[in-house]
């Protein structure tokens, strides 16, 4: 059994690399996780970031983009095409590109901290 160094989840996750070896690709396509690492064979079955990436992107990308759109409308009352040329690209750039690295970071953090689904602890009744 080979020992693997503990790699930083931020470093491996944001680069979308395997959280165990730091070499293999984490994704197949844009957001689809691979079944396993092609370098070290780590099974990615443990990974379940669920809606975490979307939540973080909404909080740090979509909300500021929406605030920008509202500010632009209130202060300048521009025609619709100005929103189309400014707000739409700004929202797309703050919401779509960060999804992949944020998902990679969450998967790497799950591996690093050995996170798993919660279970109820039962006490034996006397």
Please report, in tens digits, the pLDDT of each residue of the chain (126 residues total). Answer: 688 999 999 999 999 999 999 999 999 999 999 999 999 999 999 999 989 999 999 999 889 999 999 999 999 999 999 999 999 999 999 999 999 999 999 999 999 999 887 777 777 655
Question: What tokens were used for 95?
Answer: 């919401």
Axis crossing angle, helix 63-76 with helix 80-95, rounded to the nearest 10: 160
Report yes or no on 60 lying in a domain: yes
Number of domains in the chain: 1
Report yes or no on 123 lying in a domain: no
pTM of the model: 0.86
Report yes or no on 120 lying in a domain: no
Report yes or no on 22 lying in a domain: yes
What's the rounded Cα separation, in Å, for the pair 22 and 19?
A: 6
Q: Which domain holds residue 100?
A: 9-112
Report yes or no on 117 lying in a domain: no
Please report the sign of the dihedral spanned by the C-alpha atoms of residue 91, residue 98, residue 63, residue 54: positive
Report yes or no on 122 lying in a domain: no
* Closest to 25 (Cα-Cα) out of 112, 108, 109: 108
What's the rounded Cα separation, in Å, for the pair 56 and 74?
A: 27
């Amino acid at each position: 059994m080979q020992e693997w160094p503990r790699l930083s989840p931020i470093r491996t996750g944001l680069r979308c690399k395997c959280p165990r070896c730091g070499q293999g690709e984490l994704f197949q396509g844009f957001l689809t996780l691979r079944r396993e690492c092609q370098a070290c064979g780590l099974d990615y079955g443990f990974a379940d970031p669920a809606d975490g990436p979307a939540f973080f992107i909404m909080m740090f990308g979509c909300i500021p983009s929406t605030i920008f759109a509202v500010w632009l409308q209130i202060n300048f009352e521009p025609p619709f095409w100005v929103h189309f040329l400014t707000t739409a690209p700004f929202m797309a750039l703050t919401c779509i590109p960060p999804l992949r690295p944020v998902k990679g970071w969450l998967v790497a953090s799950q591996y690093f901290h050995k996170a798993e689904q919660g279970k109820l602890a039962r006490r034996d009744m006397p």
